[in-house]
Amino acid sequence: MRIITGRFKGKRLISVKANTVRPTSDRVKESVFGILGDCVINSNFLDLCAGTGNIGLEALSRGAKSVTFVDRSPHCIRIIKSNLAGCDVNSGDPNVNIVKLDALRGLAYLARRNARFDLIYFDPPYDSGIHEACLARIGTNRMLSPSGQVVVERRRERRTDPAAPEASHELKLKRQERYGDTVISFYQMEDTE
């Protein structure tokens, strides 16, 4: 796992040894950031279910103004801090926020602080079943800037998996891409044209 481009290009990241975290592959990461393009520059970025911090660090490397990492695992929080240090970023930097809560409580915490993001990358454990509830919380609390996007990573649907919703509480599905067994869905606020 490495940073693909930007100011930290080529930096190797520490990964989690256990099977509890499934880092986004470099191929998927490169494609997503290619689609997002210049939207990342000067953005307020939320890496929800951050795991190793792989996505948030890529955003910082590509010019995000600030990144908030949310993960419930103390082990993942330690790895995020180590990966930040490996990129010469202090975890106490005012443009870096680390929140040790699960996704739903993390969103509630951020909503109480009137946090608003330009880009939200949401990659929960595939079998967690929290996709819809988190999208609802983001939309209902209007945590996304008017032209912002929520990017959701999930497993390609099997018969037992629910499909990505076309719309969810103020958010509307705008684009979907498939990479092997991974599906990436891009949502925007419904009133965004």
Measure the CA–CA gap between 6 and 141, rounded to whole angstroms. Answer: 32
Nearest to 21 by CA among 85, 80, 67: 80
Which residues sit opposite 155 in a β-bridge?
A: 182
Under DSSP, is residue 149 helix (H, G, I), strand (E, B) or coil? strand
pLDDT in tens, the chain (193 residues): 899 999 999 999 998 776 556 678 888 999 999 999 999 999 999 999 999 999 999 999 999 999 999 999 999 999 999 999 999 999 889 999 999 999 999 999 999 999 999 999 999 887 778 888 999 999 999 999 999 999 999 877 654 444 555 656 689 999 999 998 899 999 998 865 4
Which residues sit opposite 149 in a β-bridge?
A: 119
For domain 29-189, give the fold.
Answer: Rossmann fold (3.40.50)
Identity of residue 3: I
* DSSP of 59-107: HHHTT-SEEEEE-S-HHHHHHHHHHHHHTT--TT-TTEEEE-S-HHHHH
- Domain range list for the chain: 29-189
Contact of 23 with 53, CB cutoff 8 Å: no
Measure the CA–CA gap between 175 and 160, rounded to whole angstroms. Answer: 23
